[in-house]
Structure 1
Amino acid sequence: MAEKVDYIPFSQEHHSVSLPQNRAKSSFLTRVVRISAVAAIMLLGIRAVLPSSNFSRLGRAAGCGGHRKLVNDAKLKLPAHYSLPSGDQIPSVALGTWKAAPGQVGDAVKTALKAGYRHIDGAWIYRNEEEVGRAIKESGIDRKDLWLTSKLWNSFHRPEEIEPVLDETLRNLQTSYLDLYLIHW
């Protein structure tokens, strides 16, 4: 008798996508390039992607209001968002909450939201989701106007562990859904 499971098992027999070989290769390469570009920006930061001379003109002011020059500099304009194949639009700039000190991360989130950020990136392992959730709620910005990203920690990859950890994240962030849930690595 087959074992009942609460998840869909994956096996080679269950998928049957048949694109023409050249289209499949092109689609795959396009995806690899897009994912690599996003990963490079996320991992290395924008300074590694754009010429450093653009940032050197900002000097030390970049951390104290120099961002206005960055936003107004035609050479450094980023799109406000990236359109995903699903039609969703992910804001191109996010506030990351890793290593944000307790008691300060909430203020950072509120300040970022007040400044126009609409993407908050966090993770269960950062241990600050409750404070982030309170700050989002206190900001008064409608949830539908935000993009929330969180991550599943490495010790919770078994199928029966995913939903309880996701539920905890949703409770802590005071929301009913996430826009993006990644596996942390």
Structure 2
Amino acid sequence: MDIMVNSSYRMKITVNNSFEMNITMNSSFKMNITQDETSTRPKSAPSSSSPREGREETEEILDSILPPREWEEEGKLWRQSVSSTPATRLDVMNLQEQLDLKLQQRQARETGICQTRRELYAQCFDELIRQSTINCTERGLLLLRVRDELRMTLHAYQVSLG
């Protein structure tokens, strides 16, 4: 899989020369993920030959989608990456409960324009993208594309309305 991003934050992804996707990103990056060209596998099969390689590939993709946070504290450099552990059904149910709780705690409006509600739903959607990417890279990247298109459309409306 090759992932390239240019300065206009466009990403073109090609998987096995048969699947192409263009994605708009909020930050730039360059990443090449390679695999044995002679291997033939069904589209639903993992792209790597070992579970460890598959996990490393997933972590690289997750880091490109949701970049690690880095900061310095007490002279030490810290780095926090998103988890590459697959979510369980219970994790998804907890995510929904946390979303409802945060909406209530931060007194987000139920209708109309509400920045707080938009931010909380955006965080929840990012988590769903993370979970989907771990289980199926192509699905996660498609959700990323949908998320970015929605953001660009919303931004265009905001700019046009002044």
Give TM class, smaller chain: under 0.3
TM-score, scaled relative to structure 2 = 0.25
TM-score, scaled relative to structure 1 = 0.23
Structure with the greater relative contact order (CA < 8 A, sep ≥ 6): 1 or 2?
A: 2
- Higher strand content, 1 or 2: 2
